[in-house]
Amino acid sequence: MALMNCPECEAEISQTAMDCPKCGVQLRKPKRGFFGVIFKWTFILFNVLMVAWLASYWGTVAEITTATSSGAEQAGAAIGATLGTGMLFSIWVFGDIILGMFVLFTRPSR
């Protein structure tokens, strides 16, 4: 077992130690495993996709509501837009909860 000196308290510790057992200073940062990295990037990409999807949807809804002429058509378009936005937010929240749990459970441990 190779030893090194702690940069804070100069105690001799193992080179494989994550932190000093004497003073508690962090020597190395724990790293995510392969699946942890995959889940983290999936979570990030999912959120980017949902933002793009929502912006695209709202752009389409704006075109539809401006193209309608009667009050009933505008009311129907507004109700449909509200329901569609609610569905997108529901998918977003449930997806974030599920992916967030995977990211949480694959985080690095000390």
Neighbours of 42 (CB within 10 A): 14
Helices (H), 1-110: 34-67, 71-105
Whose CA is closest to 108, among 28, 11, 46, 44? 28
pTM of the predicted model as reported, rounded to 2 decimal places? 0.73
Higher-confidence residue: 45 or 61?
45
What distances in angstroms separate CA 56 from CA 20, 37, 53, 72, 95, one per listed residue?
51, 28, 5, 24, 19
Give CA–CA dist 73/64, Å, rounded.
10
Q: Does the structure show a pLDDT above 90 at 48?
A: yes
